[in-house]
Amino acid sequence: MISSMRKEQDNLETWKECLKNYLIGQGLWGVVSGDEPKPEEIDRNYKDWMKKNALALHAIQISCEEDTISYLMRGSPILTLLNYSIILVPKSIKDLKLKHAKALQLLKVIVKEIPTLSNEQLKNIGLDQVIYDAIKCGSFEFINELITCNPVIIWRADKRGRTLFAHAVTLRQEKIFNLIYGLGAKRRTFVIQSDVFRNNYLHLAAKLSPSFQLDRVPGAALQMQRELQWYKEIESMVPPKFGERLNENGLTPVALFTKEHRELVKEGERWMKNNTASCMVVAALIATVMFTTAFTVPGGNDKTGFPIFLGYDAFLVFIVSNALSLFSSSTSVLIFLGILTARFAEIDFLESLPKKLILGLFTLFFSVVTMMIAFGSTLFIILEKRLSWIAIPVTILSIIPIVFFVFYQFPR
List, as one string, the DSSP characters of 41-104.
TTSTTHHHHHHHHHHHHHHHHHT--HHHHHHHHHT--HHHHHHHHHHHS-S--SS-HHHHHHHH
Under 8 Å between Cβ of 221 and 272 = yes
Count CA atoms within 13 Å of residue 383 on its CB side. Answer: 15
Q: Which of 41-45, 331-335, 346-350, 356-360 has the lowest mean pLDDT?
A: 41-45
* Residues facing 200 on adjacent strands: 194
**Is residue 263's pLDDT more than 80?**
yes
Looking at per-residue pLDDT, the higher value among 85 and 196 belongs to 196
**Is residue 73's pLDDT more than 50?**
no
Looking at per-residue pLDDT, the higher value among 252 and 77 belongs to 252
Encoded amino acid at 208, one letter: L
The per-residue pLDDT for 341 is 92
How much of the chain exceeds pLDDT 70, in percent?
Answer: 76
The per-residue pLDDT for 274 is 94
Question: In whole angstroms, what is the distance from residue 96 CA to residue 309 CA?
Answer: 63
Phi, psi of 307, deg, nearest 5: -60, 140
As a whole number of angstroms, the longest Cα–Cα distance in the chain is 106
Residue 7 DSSP code? G
Greatest mean pLDDT among 51-65, 199-213, 281-295 lies in 199-213
Q: What is the mean pLDDT of the chain?
A: 80
Residues in the chain: 412
Which among 135, 286, 99, 265 has a CA at the least distance from the CA of 210? 135
Looking at per-residue pLDDT, the higher value among 294 and 6 belongs to 294
| DSSP-assigned letters across all residues of 156-196 | ---TTS--HHHHHHHTT-HHHHGGGGGGGGGHHHHHT-B-T
Quickly state the pLDDT bin for 63 (edges 50, 70, 90).
low
Looking at per-residue pLDDT, the higher value among 46 and 88 belongs to 46
- Tell me the mean pLDDT in the region 309-313: 68
Encoded amino acid at 153, one letter: I
The per-residue pLDDT for 5 is 43
- Tell me the mean pLDDT in the region 188-211: 93
**Is residue 1's pLDDT more than 50?**
no
- Tell me the mean pLDDT in the region 93-98: 53
Question: In whole angstroms, what is the distance from residue 15 CA to residue 2 CA?
Answer: 10
Q: Which of 48-52, 333-337, 348-352 has the lowest mean pLDDT?
A: 48-52
Quickly state the pLDDT bin for 2 (edges 50, 70, 90).
very low
Quickly state the pLDDT bin for 61 (edges 50, 70, 90).
low
* Residues facing 272 on adjacent strands: none
Which among 77, 76, 105, 73 has a CA at the least distance from the CA of 89? 105
Looking at per-residue pLDDT, the higher value among 21 and 157 belongs to 157
Residues 6+ apart with CB under 8 A from 65: 6
Question: In whole angstroms, what is the distance from residue 261 CA to residue 253 CA?
Answer: 12
The per-residue pLDDT for 388 is 62
Q: Which of 89-93, 157-161, 216-220 has the lowest mean pLDDT?
A: 89-93
